[in-house]
Structure 1
Amino acid sequence: MKAISVKQMSLAAIMTAVSCILSPISINIGPVPISLGTFAVCLSVTILGRNLGMLSYLLYLLLGFIGLPVFSNYGAGVEKLLGPTGGYLIGMIFLAFFGGYAVDRFSKSFIKQYLGLAFGIVLCYLLGTLWLGKVLSMDFGKALSVGVLPFILPDAVKVFLALALGRKIRSRLSFLQAE
């Protein structure tokens, strides 16, 4: 494994801060709020790639876990991670991994990167829906109807915008081009 440069560490820290700023911004529509968390993760992995993007997201999770109010609706702590939306927070690791892989692997193809990010979101939805159903004693269909269906279109738009913006930013950061 290649050593991480100071510039890369700094950019990962900046993207962690961006996630901490954007993710708490939420609109409550039921047990699962619409937040800018998906946008933040997609933006981070588009700019940073898989490894640094995952590092950035894991740091964000750690900050929320230890009590900083960085989760949706300014939530924090173990209770948020173990609560109804905890599966989505943990599922975002899949988004960072698979989305970041697509960003790294298909650097010339917007469509393939988009599909990789979308695949990561589907895995996040799956884990989040199973978790939501278990925590709130809902069957899978009910959990899907409140935890996924209202988010498909907003998330599709957030992925598109994060990918478009992130590709522009990444193209300007020459030290990431060799990644």
Structure 2
Amino acid sequence: IFAGSTVMGDGQVSLILDMEGVAREAGIGHASAAVVAQPLAKVEEVTLVLLFEDGAGARYAIPLDAIRRVVRFKAADVQYVTGRAGIRLPDGIWTMRRLEDVVAGVAPVPIPDAGYLLLPKATGGDLLGLVLAELIDTALAPKILQPVIPAQVGVMGVAEVCDKLTLFLDPAVLLGSVEGGR
């Protein structure tokens, strides 16, 4: 049932599955023409998101296609200049923004001793990252969202994800709007 193996970027060896061999082992044959011709049920459009929570337990989601990368940091990595937190990464010095700096109504919390810095794909040239204390998971979420009232720049909407109401954020717009007012 294996077609080969490969060495991953981290040095781990992974086996490559042969899908025909897996189907054979499971006793699954080719579908008949009658089965193939059946109309498919309407599938809801979904997107893959990163889930995280604030200190009060409110759930947030950011589409993975809006994220450049997520970097783990420790308190020793954070430096302050003119009252702003920053962190040196290989591609430059990134300014760290807390969730309450960019989303109205979020209770203020200090930058954690250890956490994650979400680096969005687009920030208009500014090196701005969003501080996340705790990541929950990645999940499939609906692309069609309910609007949030009152509307807020960088807040895309709300939907239920994994049985919990979740606020969807656009990190590039959020960080751009806060830096525009400096």
**TM-score category of the 2 structures, normalised to the smaller one:** under 0.3
If the length of structure 1 is used for normalisation, what is the TM-score? Answer: 0.21
TM-score, scaled relative to structure 2? 0.21
Rg larger for: 2
Q: Normalized per residue, which structure has more helix?
A: 1
Query: Is the strand fraction higher in 1 or 2?
Result: 2
